[in-house]
Amino acid sequence: MACRRKFGIPWPECNDGLSYDDVVRISDSGLTLIEFYSTKYKSSAPLQGVGSKLVYHRLPWKEPDAPHMIEVLYEDDDMIALNKPSGLQVLPGGLFQQRTVLTQLQWEANLHKKSHPVPVHRLGRGTSGILLCAKTKLARARLASYFADGTSNIGGKRNTKQEIGKIAKIYRGLASGIVENDQVTVNQPIGVVKYPGVAKGLYVASESGKPALSVVSILERNVQENSTLVQVKIQSGRPHQIRIHLSFIGHPLLGDPLYGVGGQPKCLDCDSIDESFAEDGGYHRPIKAVPGDCGYNLHAHKLVLSHPLTDEIIEINAPLPSTLQTPEEAKEIASMKQTFQDV
């Protein structure tokens, strides 16, 4: 059990705040500064500005707690695969503008005076496991095409001569209830609906949505805990796809605060955002659950892909959390640890 490299710098107490420059358009000329910014940045703090060029600055604030240490699973000159911990957001958004994987990649690169890798896909904040990042523009373009092609081919719209099957993604999850069939194929489309606290809308199961395909295999049924350990292979990569598809078949991830049965949120017509000001000058978070909330067990366990430059087949594995191991796997891992300690 070789030790893998880890990196990460502890988060400072507060982030650096946010600054934006904006030019007022003719259509906005009749608005006051407060009206302009409250419309454009609905979840941000008050503003300041002069003349036609407005400068908005949100003062630094303390972001919610998040892990900072990240394990490296694979690395070469073109790409790096990370083991993202649950609770760490990939890219800046909402309350998390600094405490993200991207920030740690930037800080790590600055220490070595190199350009920083860029994630080529996303994992939900509560999802752990393999996150693939590109080190070069060419690798980024090709890896991004792998993910895009996998998703587009679900709809049958791509030419079969194009690059397909360049990547396979396998997840582990703990679903609620007992799934009866040993394997379930879910091809429910995923679309977007309006939802309080989510500016661009919430992804849900929707007949008018885009094609999505998940193959769910049962690993263990725990009748006593009323849960099922599942392996999920996806070719497409719609946002929150596995959470939505397991919810759609009546077995949402155990502890998922957002999705109930049917691939829908537990509360679609829930209360809107509490618009009183928070201590940092921004707005309080939505009262009900949002996609970034944690509490569920989902892990990007295995990734098999063609290397973006050499076409060599690369298999990357992220160690399984104890909650997502079968009894046999738990025994094997314990035995390996004991053997490693005895050496």
pLDDT digits (tens, 9 = 90+) for 103-117: 999 999 999 889 999
Which CATH architecture does the domain made up of 70-153+165-268+278-331 adopt?
A: 2-Layer Sandwich (3.30)
Radius of gyration of the chain (CA): 22
pLDDT digits (tens, 9 = 90+) for 324-343: 999 999 999 888 887 777 66
Phi-psi category of residue 240: left, alpha or beta, with phi > 0 → left and psi -120 to 50 → alpha: left
Could you list the pLDDT tens digit for every one of the 343 residues in the chain?
Answer: 556 899 999 999 999 988 877 777 787 778 877 777 767 766 554 444 454 566 677 789 999 999 999 999 999 999 999 999 999 999 998 889 999 999 999 999 999 889 999 999 989 999 999 999 999 999 999 999 998 876 666 665 443 333 446 899 999 999 999 999 999 999 999 999 998 878 889 999 999 999 999 999 999 999 999 999 999 999 768 999 999 999 999 999 999 999 999 999 997 665 544 444 445 445 455 577 888 899 999 999 999 999 999 999 999 999 999 999 999 999 998 888 877 776 6
CATH 3.30.2350.10 location in the chain: 70-153+165-268+278-331
Q: Is the pTM of this model over 0.75?
A: yes
SS3 call for 28 = helix
